[in-house]
Amino acid sequence: MVRVGRSLGVFLGTLGTAVALAQPPAPGPVAPATTMPAPAPTRVVLSEVVDPPFRAAVLEVVRRPTVSTRGSGSDLVCSPDLFAWLLDHPDRTAAAWRRLQVPCVEIADAGKGRFSWTDTDGSDLSWQTVGTFPEGRVWYATGKVKPAAVGPTVPLKAVVVVSHPGTAVGGGAARITPTVQAFVQTDSKAAAVALRVLGPTAPKLAQDAAEQLVLFFAGVARYVHAHPDRADELLAPARR
């Protein structure tokens, strides 16, 4: 259960490691580059849902990713509003895991909808929601990841699309199918250095990280739905 407490920051760190270790994708057609089929029935047209100030940067990453991956989790029953709230408050989600005695890193609320994660090796990532669509979010992240204490720092940009389509089951709850699709772009020179370490295991590492991100949010949503009396305690702001 320890791995469940991973956050978006740790996910991007793990995914960044995978990027640094992954072979560049084979060249191929990318049209239509602005349309991204999600693993769930939701179909996202990024050029329409991403806020204009971030649109060019997001599409650049999606069109030319160093690596991309997707992950999904088992269906869960909870309030759709609760699940959306958790996506918008990853710092509170991380705090909820710690209050459940599950080890979890800290996510900082940087204000104005931005969140950040750092580690002692020099990784430093920040992200924010740059687009919304029915039952989903688009996150854009920038920063750097140091895959190991010894080795290069890998700069990266990432686009993460979270989709959570649901079917009403009554009582304000829905059966939700959460999925994540991520695109990461990084400096090829730094990636080439790290590539020699793990090589072909990187795609599986990236997929596992995406699935852990789904579980990070779904686990708290499932628990709070089953124990509504603990919602205020678990989701309260961290004490300063």
Fold of 2-235: Alpha-D-Glucose-1,6-Bisphosphate; Chain A, domain 4 (3.30.530)
Q: Alpha-carbon distance 139 to 46, whole Å?
A: 11
Residue 136 scores a pLDDT above 60: yes
The residue-averaged pLDDT of 95-105 equals: 90
Answer yes or no: are the C-beta atoms of 123 and 143 closer than 8 Å: yes
Which pLDDT belongs to residue 16? 53
Q: Is 130 helix (H, G, I), strand (E, B) or coil?
A: strand
Which pLDDT belongs to residue 15? 58
H or E element at residue 86: helix 80-88
Its sign, for the CA torsion 118, 121, 123, 124, is positive
Which pLDDT belongs to residue 123? 84
Q: In the chain, what percentage of residues exceed pLDDT 70? A: 73
**Rama region for 148: left / alpha / beta (φ>0; ψ in -120 to 50; rest):** beta
Is it true that the peptide bond before 32 is cis, omega within 30 degrees of 0? Answer: yes
Domain boundaries, the chain: 2-235
Q: Alpha-carbon distance 215 to 222, whole Å?
A: 10
| Full-model pTM | 0.82
Q: Alpha-carbon distance 90 to 130, whole Å?
A: 15
Task: State pLDDT tens for residues 15-72.
Answer: 554 444 443 333 333 333 333 433 444 678 999 999 999 999 999 999 998 888 889 9
